[in-house]
Amino acid sequence: MPTSKDVAQAAGVAQSTVSYVLSGKRPISEKTRKKVEDAIQQLTYQPNAGARALASRRTRVIGLVIPFIPELHMASIMEFVSVIANTARLYDHDILLVTEDEGAPGLQRVVGQQICDGLILMQVEGDDERLPVVRSLHVPVVLIGIPHDPSGLVCIDADFEMAGEQCVQDLAAAGHTVISVLDWQPEVVDRHVNYVERFMSGTNKAAETLGVKVLHLPGGTDREVIGESVDKALAETTGVPAFIAPDGTVQDVLRRVLTSRGLTPGTDVSVIGSASPTLAELQPIPLSTIDLRPAEVSRRAVKIICDLLEAENQGPTESLELVPTVITHRASTLRPPHGS
Amino acid sequence: MPTSKDVAQAAGVAQSTVSYVLSGKRPISEKTRKKVEDAIQQLTYQPNAGARALASRRTRVIGLVIPFIPELHMASIMEFVSVIANTARLYDHDILLVTEDEGAPGLQRVVGQQICDGLILMQVEGDDERLPVVRSLHVPVVLIGIPHDPSGLVCIDADFEMAGEQCVQDLAAAGHTVISVLDWQPEVVDRHVNYVERFMSGTNKAAETLGVKVLHLPGGTDREVIGESVDKALAETTGVPAFIAPDGTVQDVLRRVLTSRGLTPGTDVSVIGSASPTLAELQPIPLSTIDLRPAEVSRRAVKIICDLLEAENQGPTESLELVPTVITHRASTLRPPHGS
DNA sequence: TTGAAAGCGCTACCAT
DNA sequence: ATGGTAGCGCTTTCAA
């Protein structure tokens, strides 16, 4: 592997000049710049990341802490990961995976060994045990998810409250007066991620404002449970029933249960599910969907951390960003409640 | 951040001694070892990864090239990623994400800048355009997936041929004489991943041996297409129909189509899908599943590359490993073809 | 506008 | 069994 020294020699300049050509931190004459760039081309020189990190105290690597909980609808997690990795490249950074299995010590490890300059944590719980460690780390950290006490932390998440509101507004606008909301799976609720309550609070708020009734029913992946929830909903509804199922996995089960009851979403029952546009396309049954915009959340998380890394001299930043939700209406839109 | 120099000072030894205590590359007396370890504790010293990489020419980072194709059943890709990251830690390595968007130049970048010591490529196509670059790279690379010409490459994959055979054997053993095999989605087939033909060849082989009939039908996520395939299958079958749907996404659609035809998998139709045990548990309708053992494939891929890194002095290794498939029978097992 | 040289924090060789 | 020291390949300061 050629080094900057080789390039310098080939170009007939000092090694430091090569460095300055690359970094642009000092004016270089056209002549020498060209000589150096040619030499770089010839030798297919690429700077050594380790040496660069050692000298500059910047690795240009961001640690990404990913959850692996089978209940969490892996497909959407994968979308976060993919967008985060691609966005990081736009800012000339790379992503190092840190699995949740490593826990808080894992964070101390990658930061302590200076493998990465900052961290992004996904799926942050309300009372996440890693928060004390995060606060003690002397590098920028961005949380995806809002903990109960976000003081001193930089957080970002989709605006679940607005999502809840919009779902109810949409169904109310379609004429529904009774709306059933299926809860997330118990596994998610138990993690105390507070987006659950934020979403529910949004539905209640809209319900109150609009004078419609919202039924909160148990969710889960258990067909029986969903079956009961659906029956309860049907019993309390006259006309076309309406469901909101924010949890992707619950939504899958709901769809099956409705089908087995002879109900076709979009025709004799209104359903709003949740899915990113990308994934929504794959759904065999088109639904109205809430787009919680994972891609947007991911992009902004990366931008925030890169900005923090750029300006790592200012005082401690404390911010809390919410990304607005969007509702996408697809092939089968919402129906009026009495069969139109 | 404390350095090894600080530790040496605190322990009253030479800096190199600290290094040797950590690496164990030379005998150290109990006395000094303890002094050093205490100092490390006191200072919460962690070695600087950049300096270490620079001096040792080893980053202890493995690049993982992940696909992001919505059609690819992200849930299972995520399982690969997660297991790979965790396994890498067992060998004291970290995983750097390289997205497929970066293409072949991305590989040259992470290797050229010496950000990582080796690569794992997922979802390798039959005639993958990155192969020429991979062959030119002077670092170990492990491919998950078998290209048409694997010469000079290290590959690993599930044994799809055996999977195909076993599926047919199982259904034949349950008494089925006509077995319908749904193809992967066109998006997958178009990538010329050769596991598709390996699987199909396995089904044909077993069918011939056992004297049963195998129908190959179009797959996809399009409900219409699957509907037609199912109808065709039903027309050609007497008694209980039998389906094999290796593609996770196709399987989802198949399940819905069967339900809408009033057919319950496990009762009046036999279905073998594919799912890792982890994901299979989440299925609301228990099926017989082929376990292509993504976790096992992942673990072995990491082990292979770490072994290669360890022994990066021997001559060029050429290996091609297939991980045997397992068929897991779940709650609703296969039925005899005439309603028992 | 450019060059020389001093580190950055390790590893590993040469001594003792 | 341990210490001293020469790099590893960059960035950045100091000089010219």
> Does B185 fall in a domain?
yes
Among chain B residues, the shortest Cα distance to A138 is held by B1
Q: Which domain holds residue A105?
A: 61-158+294-325
Burial class (CB in 10 A: 0-12, 13-18, 19+), A141: buried
Do A183 and A233 lie in one domain? The reply is yes
- From the CA of B8 to the C1' of C16: give the distance in Å: 19
Q: Touching check for A24 and chain B: CB below 8 Å?
A: no
Give the pLDDT confidence of B190-231 residue by residue, as tens digits: 877 889 999 999 999 999 999 999 999 999 888 889 999 999
> Do B29 and B72 fall into the same domain?
no
Q: Does B97 touch chain A (CB under 8 A)?
A: yes
In a domain, B339, yes or no: no
Residue of A94, A102, A281 lying closest to B115 (CB–CB): A94
Q: Do A284 and B75 touch (CB under 8 A)?
A: no
Same domain, A255 and A184: yes
Quick one: tokens of B184?
């992967």
- Mark whether A206 and A285 lie in a shared domain: yes
User: Residue B237 falls within a domain, yes or no?
Assistant: yes
Q: What's A34's domain CATH number?
A: 1.10.260.40
Chain A contact set for B71 (CB, 8 A): 282
Closest residue in chain A to residue B253, using alpha carbons only: A284
Tell me, yes or no, if A231 comes closer than 8 A to chain B by beta carbon: no
Contact A68 B82 (CB under 8 A): yes
Q: Assess whether B201 and B253 both reside in one domain.
A: yes
Q: Does A105 touch chain B (CB under 8 A)?
A: no
Could you tell me if A270 and A219 lie in one domain? yes
Position B250 scores a pLDDT of 87
Q: How confident is the model at residue B136, as a pLDDT?
A: 96
Give the containing element (helix H, strand E) for B337. none
Nearest chain B CA: its distance from A52 CA (Å): 8
Q: Are residues A82 and A137 in the same domain?
A: yes
Whether B23 and B81 share a structural domain: no
Do the domain assignments include residue A24? yes
Q: Does A74 touch chain B (CB under 8 A)?
A: yes
Q: Which nucleotide C1' is nearest B17 CA? A: D2
pLDDT of residue A331: 47
Inform me whether the C-beta atom of residue B59 falls under 8 Å from chain A C-beta atoms: yes
Nearest residue, CA→C1' of C4: A14
Residue B208 distance to chain A (closest CA, Å): 35
Instruction: Say which residue, A329 or B239, is predicted with more confidence.
Output: B239
B26 and A CB contact within 8 Å: no
Nearest Cβ partner of B46 from A50, A53, A113?
Answer: A113
Contacts 24+ apart (CB under 8 A), A124-131: A124/A155, A124/A193, A125/A191, A125/A192, A125/A193, A126/A191, A126/A192, A126/A193, A126/A194, A127/A192, A129/A103, A129/A104, A130/A103, A130/A104
Q: Are residues B32 and B77 in the same domain?
A: no
- Six-digit token pair at A206? 């809209």
- Residue A188 located in a structural domain: yes
Q: What is the mean predicted confidence (pLDDT) over B118-142?
A: 95
Residue with tokens 């060994």: A113
Give the residue whose CA sits closest to D7 at C1'.
B55
The predicted structure's pLDDT at residue A233:
94
Quick check: is A52 in a domain?
Answer: no
Q: Specify the pLDDT at position B315.
A: 53
A55 beta carbon to strand D: under 7 Å: yes
Residue B334 lies in a domain: no
Determine, for residues A78 and B79 on separate chains, whether the beta-carbon distance falls below 8 Å. no
To the nearest whole angstrom, how far is the Cα of B48 from the nearest Cα of chain A? 5
> Is the pLDDT score of B337 beyond 90?
no
pLDDT tens per residue, range B69-100: 776 778 889 999 999 999 999 999 999 999 99
Tell which B residues from 262 to 301 touch A, by Cβ distance under 8 Å.
278-279, 281-282, 284-285
Q: Are A103 and B102 in contact (CB under 8 A)?
A: no
CA of A16 to C1' of C6 (A): 13
Residues 6+ apart with CB under 8 A from A278: A79, A295, B70
Please indicate, yes or no, if residue A53 is contained in any of the structural domains. no
Whole-angstrom Cα Rg for chain A: 25
Q: Please judge whether B113 and A70 are an interchain contact, meaning their C-beta atoms are less than 8 angstroms apart.
A: no
Nearest chain A residue to B102 by CA: give it: A86
CA A131 to C1' D8, whole Å: 37
CA–C1' span, B36 to D7, in Å? Answer: 25
Which three-class secondary structure state does DSSP give residue A297?
Answer: helix
Tell whether A183 and A209 lie within a shared domain.
yes
Summarize pLDDT for B27-59 with one digit per residue, the tens. Answer: 999 999 999 999 999 999 999 999 999 999 999
- Asked if residue B9 keeps its beta carbon closer than 7 A to nucleic acid strand D, the reply is no
A134 touches A107 (CB < 8 A): yes
Q: Helix, strand, or coil here: B318?
A: coil
What's the confidence (pLDDT) of residue A308?
94
Domain harbouring B269, CATH code: 3.40.50.2300
Closest CA–CA distance from residue A214 to any residue of chain B (Å) = 26
Which is more confidently placed, B276 or B97? Answer: B97
User: Which residue among A64, A68, A115 places its CB closest to the CB of B49?
Assistant: A115
Number of domains in chain A: 3
Q: Is the pLDDT of residue B340 over 50?
A: no
* One-letter amino acid of B260: S
Q: CA-nearest residue of chain B to A74?
A: B75
CA distance A234 to A217: 12
The mean per-residue pLDDT over the stretch B142-156 comes to 93
Distance (Å, whole) CA A207 – CA A205: 5
* A112 and chain B in contact, CB less than 8 A: yes
On whether the pTM is more than 0.85, the answer is yes
Question: What residues of A are in contact with residue B81 (Cβ under 8 Å)?
Answer: 66, 78, 81, 97
Tell me which H or E stretch contains B280: helix B277-280
Q: What is the pLDDT of residue A282?
A: 54
CB contact under 8 A, A97 and B85: yes
Per-10-residue mean pLDDT, chain A, length 340: 97 98 96 97 98 98 91 83 98 97 97 98 93 96 93 92 92 92 88 87 97 94 90 92 89 83 83 70 65 92 95 67 72 57
Cα separation, B273 vs B73, in Å, equals 13
**Is residue B269 over pLDDT 60?**
yes
Residue closest to B199 by CA, chosen among B232, B247, B266: B247
Whether residue A201 is found in the same domain as residue A273: yes
Query: Closest nucleotide to B15's CA, by C1' atom?
Result: D3
Same domain? For A23 and A74 the reply is no
